[in-house]
Chain A
Amino acid sequence: MNFEHILFSIEDGVALLSLNRPEQLNSFNAAMHGEVREALKQVRQNPDARVLLLTGEGRGFCAGQDLSDRNVAPGAEMPDLGQSIEQFYNPLIRALRDLPLPVICAVNGVAAGAGANIPLACDLVLAARSASFIQAFCKIGLIPDSGGTWTLPRLVGMARAKALALLGNRLSAEQAEQWGLIYQVVDDANLRDEALTLARHLATQPTYGLALIKRSLNASLNNSFDEQLELERDLQRLAGRSEDYREGVSAFMEKRTPCFKGR
């Protein structure tokens, strides 16, 4: 399939998905949603893909919804935004969270609206020093979507989450790192290299085990302590049946570097 609005490749275990509507700051229209969905489906189905790196082309990472797709003419019927979320954004966020492999997001520039919350659905977020996060929804009468109202309080606490969502101020990448919203800030010039280095490392790791780690940490946000202990028991049982676990132990005993297959 030829993509028009994204760049997509799978090489040496690394699936690279770059949003590619730089003139529109990579904002989402229906066509780009469709392509991202298709690419994520390919990542899920391709056993060679062991890590996903999500980033954007040009100055911005993603400016959220392309509002020209949603212009409400005077007197025209109001659009049902719930429908758009149900159809596009929620499946995208769920797909990122449910992918059974680590997802790195390299935020290369401004991340606004849904574009500020899509990284928060990923597992490891790197951001260029010049990047920023803007919960712009409140400025046009909307609420943070794409999981924002759920992830923000969990990542930065309720007080800061409310300030971000109610004021819609620009949050610098450095501040975002200090607040624990993202994993790491990187100098602009090094962002893509650092992200790729991280991705290449993860592509050699026990992917199945990493997927279970991701699953357990995601579940912990909803589970009680006892439910989580039971989940750990179950997922460890699964992990213990994996080829990579056997390889990991024997490499340790034989004092050699393990060779993981991701199974």
Chain B
Amino acid sequence: MPRTLAVQMPEAGVRLITLQRPDALNALNTELLGELAAELDAAEQDGGTRAVVLTGSRKAFAAGADIKEMAERDLVGILNDPRAGYWQRIAAFSKPLIAAVNGFALGGGCELAMHADILVAGEDARFGQPEINLGIMPGAGGTQRLLRAVGKPLAMQMVLTGEAIDARHAQRAGLVSEVTQPEFTVERALQIARSIATKAPLAVRLAKEALLKAQDTDLASGLRFERHAFTLLAGTADRSEGIRAFQEKRQPAYEGR
């Protein structure tokens, strides 16, 4: 049983993972990151999981790394840090991951939220990379994913000053897809997950892969990948079902084949 997360299946196909270190504003210590990576592995293996929602508390999604833990590590400790491997496993998760962010998403918490494919934020959410204030810098994608999401000037400002931005600003900048009333952040994320869970799993998976590809390849390679993925789906039973259901004006029943 994970100690720093709660896992629920609130509805068919949707898994809800809640970060739970209330005393530490969900600071991402090694234990929590390890449990999250393991939990996503389990969701990956589970045929019944079609989408995952990741959230924290009303007050904090995750307020950064665990500073106490970080202080104890020297250079060699950082080199042998298992956390880098956990981050890779989180990034490699192949099913849709939706972050429902309320309150603080700072440092590692902001980086974790940016690992999600879709980001819904409560009106009072705050995103920032304050590492610079501690004489360090983001180390889990903060300098890379933030720049891709919000563009260079704002990413530079956030990373170099350590100052956070609010949910509306984050939405305008393209970091966040939707801003909701804080009471509905998780509900809205579950709604999106529910909608995704009714789609053909293989199409969802390849579409996610193609979109992520778009972030780090040139257009020609990206278009080539998209074409291959599109062609691949032509051989699936779900594609025939999708088209037939559309013609017969009924809900499709997808099986992931």
Which A residues lie at the B interface, using CB under 8 A?
231, 234-235, 237-238
Q: Verify if B180 is at the interface (C-beta below 8 Å from A).
A: yes
Contacts of A237 in B (CB 8 A): 184
Q: How far is the CA of A193 from the CA of B215 in the complex (A)?
A: 65
Q: How far is the CA of A235 from the CA of B184 in the complex (A)?
A: 10
Contacts of B81 in A (CB 8 A): none
Number of interface residues of B (CB under 8 A): 4
Shortest beta-carbon distance from A40 to chain B in Å:
17
Q: How far is the CA of A237 from the CA of B188 in the complex (A)?
A: 13
Contacts of B181 in A (CB 8 A): 231, 234-235, 238
Q: How far is the CA of A234 from the CA of B178 in the complex (A)?
A: 14
Can you list 10 A-B pairs, Cβ within 8 angstroms, ordered by A? Answer: A231-B181, A234-B180, A234-B181, A234-B183, A234-B184, A235-B181, A237-B184, A238-B181, A238-B183, A238-B184
Q: How far is the CA of A176 from the CA of B184 in the complex (A)?
A: 39
Which residue of chain B lies nearest to A237 when distances are taken between CB atoms in the complex?
B184
Q: How far is the CA of A238 from the CA of B184 in the complex (A)?
A: 9
Q: How far is the CA of A9 from the CA of B184 in the complex (A)?
A: 34
Contacts of A238 in B (CB 8 A): 181, 183-184
Contacts of A235 in B (CB 8 A): 181
Q: How far is the CA of A235 from the CA of B183 in the complex (A)?
A: 9
Contacts of B184 in A (CB 8 A): 234, 237-238
Shortest beta-carbon distance from A86 to chain B in Å:
12
Q: How far is the CA of A231 from the CA of B180 in the complex (A)?
A: 9
Shortest beta-carbon distance from B243 to chain A in Å:
34
- List the 5 closest A-B pairs by CB distance, nearest first: A234-B181, A238-B183, A234-B184, A235-B181, A231-B181
Contacts of A234 in B (CB 8 A): 180-181, 183-184
Which residue of chain B lies nearest to A216 when distances are taken between CB atoms in the complex?
B181
Contacts of B183 in A (CB 8 A): 234, 238
Counting chain B CB atoms within 10 Å of each CB, the highest count among A231, A234, A235 belongs to: A234
If A234-B181, A238-B184 are given as contacts, then 8 extra A-B residue pairs at C-beta distance below 8 Å, sorted by A number, are A231-B181, A234-B180, A234-B183, A234-B184, A235-B181, A237-B184, A238-B181, A238-B183
Shortest beta-carbon distance from A220 to chain B in Å:
14
Interface readout for B167-193 with A: 1 if CB under 8 Å, 0 if not? 000000000000011011000000000
Contacts of A231 in B (CB 8 A): 181
Counting chain A CB atoms within 10 Å of each CB, the highest count among B180, B181, B183, B184 belongs to: B181
Q: How far is the CA of A33 from the CA of B184 in the complex (A)?
A: 34
Which residue of chain B lies nearest to A238 when distances are taken between CB atoms in the complex?
B183
Shortest beta-carbon distance from A45 to chain B in Å:
13
Which residue of chain B lies nearest to A234 when distances are taken between CB atoms in the complex?
B181
Contacts of B180 in A (CB 8 A): 234
Q: How far is the CA of A161 from the CA of B180 in the complex (A)?
A: 33
B:27-69 near A, CB below 8 Å: none
Q: How far is the CA of A129 from the CA of B183 in the complex (A)?
A: 42
Shortest beta-carbon distance from B167 to chain A in Å:
14
Interface readout for B100-121 with A: 1 if CB under 8 Å, 0 if not? 0000000000000000000000
Q: How far is the CA of A216 from the CA of B184 in the complex (A)?
A: 15
Q: How far is the CA of A234 from the CA of B181 in the complex (A)?
A: 8
Shortest beta-carbon distance from A35 to chain B in Å:
25
B:198-254 near A, CB below 8 Å: none
Q: How far is the CA of A219 from the CA of B184 in the complex (A)?
A: 16
Which residue of chain A lies nearest to B183 when distances are taken between CB atoms in the complex?
A238
Shortest beta-carbon distance from A83 to chain B in Å:
15
Which residue of chain A lies nearest to B123 when distances are taken between CB atoms in the complex?
A219
Q: How far is the CA of A231 from the CA of B181 in the complex (A)?
A: 8
Shortest beta-carbon distance from B207 to chain A in Å:
27
Shortest beta-carbon distance from B189 to chain A in Å:
14
Which residue of chain A lies nearest to B181 when distances are taken between CB atoms in the complex?
A234
Which residue of chain A lies nearest to B180 when distances are taken between CB atoms in the complex?
A234
Q: How far is the CA of A1 from the CA of B96 in the complex (A)?
A: 50
Which residue of chain A lies nearest to B168 when distances are taken between CB atoms in the complex?
A222
Q: How far is the CA of A135 from the CA of B220 in the complex (A)?
A: 62
Shortest beta-carbon distance from B217 to chain A in Å:
37
Which residue of chain B lies nearest to A235 when distances are taken between CB atoms in the complex?
B181
Q: How far is the CA of A215 from the CA of B180 in the complex (A)?
A: 13
Q: How far is the CA of A238 from the CA of B122 in the complex (A)?
A: 15
Q: How far is the CA of A1 from the CA of B184 in the complex (A)?
A: 36
Q: How far is the CA of A231 from the CA of B184 in the complex (A)?
A: 11
Shortest beta-carbon distance from B122 to chain A in Å:
11
Q: How far is the CA of A234 from the CA of B182 in the complex (A)?
A: 10
